[in-house]
Structure 1
Amino acid sequence: MSQPPRILLVTGLSGAGRTTVLKTLEDLGWEAVDNLPLGLLDRLLSSPPAQGAPDTERPLAIGIDSRTRGFDADMILRRIAGLRSTSGQVAEILFLDASDAVLATRFSATRRRHPLALDRAAEVGIALERTMLIPLRNAADHLIDTSTTTSNGLQAEIRAAFGAIAVAPEPTLTVTSFSYKRGLPRDADLVLDVRFLRNPFWDATLRAGTGRDVDVSAYIVADEAYASAMAQIEQLLVTLLPRYRNEGKSYVTVAFGCTGGRHRSVHVAEHMGERLRKAGFSPTIAHRDLVDHRPDAREGSPSEGKDAVVAVRK
């Protein structure tokens, strides 16, 4: 079985940001394992990929700190050296540090106890842990001091340093329509109001149709603002979606809303989805409030609170 193209040991002082780093690497496409005893590393490397994992091998990040079972800094360094020498494996150490005062403040703010000072002041555990980790700090290939770094800043630093190693997976993209009468979608990242387009509801011959119907679509497309607006919305989405991916977002929902969620928003969601497919994205099209053809379920009906029939397609 092929080995990971890169192994990164993520270690450092408790409270310095190790968990944030591992989560960020995972969002970037790395396989991340926390507090794995190094004695189990060979078993991990020989294990088959998890179900649903990518076909290609991903770089591997292993989180280790003073709580790891059988922690021994010198043994860890020997294990890393063995990987490098026997298999030519790219194996590196990332060490996260911070000043004692900052670490003590973080433990106080979160009301967490230091793992090496459960019944004593956090400063005692910090000093003990710092001594234990000296060999790893001295041998580190990458050293990041987070004393003045926010969580978002640390994430950005990790993305800049390690983002090129593995291509971040594409976010799951959903393009949905909705009715403003039923409220905004809770999971929407971008909400675009298409009520500026002329409304087929006011044409008696089109009222019973939906934005998927040819005659309804033709009516909407004939609006003089339609072509320009669609082109500009497409350009906006094509610009923004890759940036959401780069920020490590797993899900992105773009919501188009109109009065009843039946005509204009449905049409725009369908056709914008097609434009995005041609631009290389893979959206799922959903219609939250596309109601059926019962008279009491139509746009403008006083029964607007009835349950909608939600239509979803890839």
Structure 2
Amino acid sequence: MEFTVITGMSGAGKSQAMKVMEDIGYYCMDNLPPALLPKFAELCYDSKRTISKIAVVLDLRGGKFFNDLFNSLEKLKGSGFKYRILFLDASDEVIIKRYKELRRPHPLSPHGRVIDGIEEEREKLKEVRAKADYIIDTTSFTLGMLKEEIKKIFLEGKEAKSLTVSVLSFGFKHGIPIDADLVFDVRFLPNPHYIEELREFTGNDKQVQDYVMGWEHTRVFVEKLIDMLDFLIPYYIKEGKTQLVIGIGCTGGKHRSVTVANVLYERLKEKEHRVIINHRDCNKY
């Protein structure tokens, strides 16, 4: 019997993921208290309906019950049931945008700021995320892309060959991203901040891109970076890594890092890698 636990950040797409799992033949249960997992598995096993594929959504809506998750998973394993954990994630900015569009409060901050709830949730889910078998970052995903990704993993068995590369631009003055696997410092490149007519633009604007990429050592750096990733990525996939976060940093995270991250993103897409991009500090001052 296949047992899949769907969890992750609120607003990252768990409900949509459950619907996809239903479409591909899984018996699904939403917001089951973790303490009931072993009993639920036994009921499904003994069911005359011969339920063989199960997906359960577990998240922090269960409040203190969520703390029972790992204990329940151990009991599940001890009873002879195998399980996999699918973790749905997305950037803070995208989650906030989704909550604003739906006009809903965050479950951990019903009367406060959404970002406060997100930060608390990330802290509480760190251990679960670290133990997840599959991580899908839906930051730049459409619903169609999420469906395709889940089908690849659970129908075609491509999870061991599939790696999400997250390219993240940032500013060192705002702190190094704690989830970055590889960090590259591009502060050695000429800074558009000191060019008056470029200062107010970002690396998403052609004027800044032309300036940053107009230097030979920028182009050489990008080529060497691509060469190194061409070497590393197959080994990450071989080792079963599901997500690679590449941080590209400059002083403020507005010009050089954004430009280089955009170029890296496009080059990796050309090589048919599954890649997403996030400019963490692009609009900060």
Q: Structure 2 length normalisation: TM-score?
A: 0.51
Shift in alpha-carbon separation, 1:10–1:83, aligned structure 2, 3 A: same
What one-letter code is carried by the residue in structure 1 that aligns with 2:65?
F
Structure 2 unmatched ranges of 5 or more: 158-285
| One-letter code aligned to 2:94 | V
Deviation at 1:23, TM superposition (A): 0.6
Q: Deviations over 1:46-91 (max 9, x none)?
A: 33689xx984322111101111143344x3123213322x233211
Q: Is 1:17 matched up with 2:10?
A: no
1:125 corresponds to which residue?
A: 117
* Structure 2 partner of 1:31: 27
Hey, what's the Cα distance between the residues in 2 that align with 1:49 and 1:23? 22
SS of the equivalent of 2:73 reads helix
Alignment equivalent of 1:56, drawn from 50, 60, 64: 50
Q: Indicate the SS of the match to 2:148.
A: helix
2-side partners of 1:139 and 1:15: how far apart? 20
Separation in 1, partners of 2:95, 2:101? 10
Q: Deviations over 1:111-155 (max 9, x none)?
A: 111111111111111111111111101111111111111111101
> Is 1:82 equivalent to 2:75 in the alignment?
yes
The residue matched to 2:64 in structure 1 has which SS? coil
Partner of 2:194: none
1:49 and 1:76 map into 2 onto residues whose CA distance is 20
Helix, strand or coil for the counterpart of 1:96? Answer: strand
Relative to structure 1, is the Cα distance of residues 56 and 105 closer, same or farther in structure 2, using a 3 angstrom cutoff? same
Write 1 or 2 for the structure with the bigger share of helix: 2
1:68 equivalent among 62, 74, 78: 62
**Matching of residue 137 in structure 1 with residue 129 in structure 2:** yes
* Contact in 1 for aligned 2:44/2:50 (Cα 8 Å): no
Whether the aligned pair in 1 keeps the contact of 2:89 and 2:139 (CA below 8 Å) is yes
Separation (CA, whole Å) in 1 of partners of 2:87 and 2:36: 21
Determine if the alignment matches structure 1 residue 154 to structure 2 residue 150: no
Amino acid at match of 1:104: I
Q: Distance in 1 between matches of 2:33 and 2:106?
A: 20
1:223-259 deviation per Cα after TM superposition (whole angstroms, max 9, x unaligned): xxxxxxxxxxxxxxxxxxxxxxxxxxxxxxxxxxxxx
Runs of 5+ in structure 1 lacking a partner? 166-314
Identity across matched positions, percent: 35
User: Could you tell me which amino acid in structure 2 is paired with residue 70 of structure 1?
Assistant: K
Aligned to 2:95: 103
Contact 2:86–2:133 under 8 Å retained in 1: yes
Query: What letter is aligned with 2:58?
Result: I
Looking at structure 2, the residues matched to 164 and 21 of structure 1 have their Cα atoms a distance apart, in angstroms, of 16
Partners in 1 of 2:109 and 2:44 — Cα distance? 38
The whole-number CA distance in structure 2 between the counterparts of 1:54 and 1:18 is 28
How far does the alpha carbon of each residue in 1:10-32 deviate from its partner, in whole angstroms, 9 at most, with x for none? 00000000001101001111010
Q: Determine if contact 1:37/1:69 at 8 Å carries over to the other structure.
A: no
In the alignment of these two chains, the number of paired residues is: 157
Give 1 or 2 for the bigger CA radius of gyration: 1
Residue identity opposite 1:130 in structure 2: R
| Bigger mean CA deviation after superposition, 7-16 or 106-115 | 106-115
Match of 1:137, SS state, is helix
DSSP 3-state at the match of 2:153: helix
Quote the residue 1:274 is aligned against. Answer: none
